[in-house]
Amino acid sequence: MSTFMASGTQTAAGSRWHIIDADGQVLGRVATVVARLLQGKHKATYTPFIDTGDHVVVVNAAKVKLTGRKEDQKIYRQHSGYEGGLREERARLVRQRKPERLIEEAVHGMLPKTTLGAAMYRKLKVYAGPDHPHTAQKPSKLEVA
């Protein structure tokens, strides 16, 4: 018996859509579930070098929970590439300005740092509120434990 290896034709056909409600959920717990779905590790057909993952829609990103004192202590950094171009922002300000970034950065840090990881990251859709434009894809609701 040989080990199963997915090919490029099997990736698009097996792709599903999932929706996760982040309301009241801990950021790290949501991010690990989302990263696992994007990579396809929940499937028996998982192949490390092929994108077998699913699409994930995260709603209510503004209501995600940060444990401890992370709201005031966690720092999000951006650099323009120029000298002195480092911008730092606390998690509390990021939540006010762009709450989707909390989940996006957490998930992005858990994905591979390759072109394949970038392709997986593009299948993530994050929305601050409960509304999303992906109802036509019929996403299945997924609970985070």
| Class at the top of the CATH hierarchy for domain 15-142 | alpha beta
Helices (H), the chain: 8-13, 27-39, 70-73, 91-97, 100-108, 115-121
Q: Are 59 and 45 in contact (CB under 8 A)?
A: no
Q: pLDDT tens track of the chain, all 145 residues?
A: 788 888 876 665 678 999 999 999 999 999 999 999 999 999 988 999 999 999 999 999 999 999 999 999 999 999 999 999 999 999 999 999 999 999 999 999 999 999 999 999 999 999 999 999 999 999 999 999 8
What pLDDT shows up at residue 45? 86
- Going by C-alpha positions, the residue among 10, 88, 13, 104 that lies closest to residue 50 is 10
Q: How far is the C-alpha of 24 from the C-alpha of 63, rounded, in Å?
A: 6
User: Encoding tokens for residue 136?
Assistant: 């036509």
